[in-house]
């Protein structure tokens, strides 16, 4: 199991840096020192490795989301993303990149991405309901768009994108509270 985890973590770094389909297997495995044979033994295929990397990343990110600041549960999303970027390359969302590269060729990889995004959208809605005291699906979608946009801009604007997204989310929440009938 240790070698399998080593391969996943090395592949995650490689995919983060270079994308999924444009990188060779040798380069993917270079971080772990594993052979192609070992990759197929543990994952069945290159796509099997991609799926496991995405699942690993999903669990790690969702674990961070368990942390919540009850005074600012939505703003905390942007702070968690800031902490996440400290240990990762700021090249946007790995899940959306995977979806873009595999949408037409792998329903299984696309399903893993879609499941992650569905769970994340639910988490945004849950946090927004805590902040407002009632659910608001439209506002949750707006905040989700801000979050994804800020994440996409990390490579260009750095954490300023997260600061701006957090501020815009706070303004939307404040406006929603003020204009609630």
Q: What is the pLDDT of residues 63-93, one digit of tens each?
A: 988 876 678 999 999 999 988 887 777 677 8
CA dihedral 108, 137, 56, 40 (to 10 degrees): 10
Q: What is the pLDDT of residue 75?
A: 95
The span from the CA of 70 to the CA of 49, in Å, is 37
Helix (H, G, I), strand (E, B) or coil at 3: helix
Residues in the chain with pLDDT values less than 50? none
Provide the whole-model pTM: 0.91
The span from the CA of 34 to the CA of 6, in Å, is 9
Tokens 């501020």 found at:
167
Q: What mean pLDDT value characterizes the chain?
A: 92
Q: What is the pLDDT of residue 181?
A: 67
Q: What is the pLDDT of residues 136-156, one digit of tens each?
A: 999 999 999 999 999 999 888
Yes or no: say if 169 and 78 are a contact pair by the CB < 8 Å rule.
yes
User: CA 42 from chain center: how many Å?
Assistant: 24
């Amino acid at each position: 199991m240790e070698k399998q985890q080593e391969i996943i973590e090395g592949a995650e770094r490689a995919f983060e840096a270079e994308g999924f389909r444009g990188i060779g297997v040798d380069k993917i495995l270079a971080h772990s020192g594993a052979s192609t044979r070992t990759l197929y033994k543990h994952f069945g295929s290159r796509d099997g490795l991609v799926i496991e990397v995405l699942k690993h990343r999903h669990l790690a990110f969702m674990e961070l989301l368990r942390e919540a600041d009850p005074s600012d549960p939505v703003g905390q999303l942007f702070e968690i993303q800031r902490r996440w970027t400290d240990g990762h390359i700021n090249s946007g969302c790995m899940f959306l990149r995977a979806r873009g590269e595999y949408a037409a060729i792998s329903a299984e990889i696309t399903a893993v991405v879609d499941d992650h995004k569905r769970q994340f959208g639910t988490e945004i809605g849950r946090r927004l309901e805590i902040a407002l005291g009632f659910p608001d699906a439209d506002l949750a979608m707006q905040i989700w768009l801000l979050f994804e946009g800020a994440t996409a801009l990390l490579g260009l604007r750095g954490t300023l994108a997260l600061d701006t997204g957090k501020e815009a989310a706070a303004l939307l929440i404040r406006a929603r509270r003020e204009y609630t009938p």
